[in-house]
Amino acid sequence: GENVEQHPSTLSVQEGDSAVIKCTYSDSASNYFPWYKQELGKRPQLIIDIRSNVGEKKDQRIAVTLNKTAKHFSLHITETQPEDSAVYFCAASMYDYKLSFGAGTTVTVRA
């Protein structure tokens, strides 16, 4: 089955700086890559996703890049704010609605 690895496990950034989280996946058939943000005690919320026919996608301060050849994808958050502090999960699937998640990255934005 699909194996998703996520790095780093924790990330501390100064407010206003950028944060980058990287994930690799094992199954070249995976073609859908969502990112979820989970605040303490809350549900995972989709923040951005990308499909395999696209190399990059941006939504305001958040962007995701995908390298199919290397089988890795990354989340970029620019101009970080305190409300960006949360656990971020990457995931991969093959259009079969079975999401394989990474272990998560705890992001702390220092004021």
Partner 1 sequence: DAGVTQSPTHLIKTRGQQVTLRCSPKSGHDTVSWYQQALGQGPQFIFQYYEEEERQRGNFPDRFSGHQFPNYSSELNVNALLLGDSALYLCASSQREGPDTQYFGPGTRLTVL
Q: List contacts with partner 1 (CB under 8 A).
A: 1, 4, 6, 32, 34, 36, 42-46, 49, 89, 91, 93, 95-104
Other Cβ atoms less than 10 A from the Cβ of 70: the count is: 8
Report the C-alpha gap between 111 and 93 in whole angstroms: 36
At residue 82, the 3 state secondary structure works out as: helix
**Closest of 59, 73, 62 to residue 30, by C-alpha:** 73
Which C-beta is closer to partner 1: that of 18 or that of 45?
A: 45
Shortest separation between residue 42's beta carbon and partner 1, angstroms? 7
Shortest separation between residue 79's beta carbon and partner 1, angstroms? 26
Shortest separation between residue 103's beta carbon and partner 1, angstroms? 5
Report the C-alpha gap between 99 and 102 in whole angstroms: 10
**Closest of 89, 105, 106, 80 to residue 35, by C-alpha:** 89
Which C-beta is closer to partner 1: that of 40 or that of 70?
A: 40
Which C-beta is closer to partner 1: that of 57 or that of 78?
A: 57
Which C-beta is closer to partner 1: that of 18 or that of 42?
A: 42
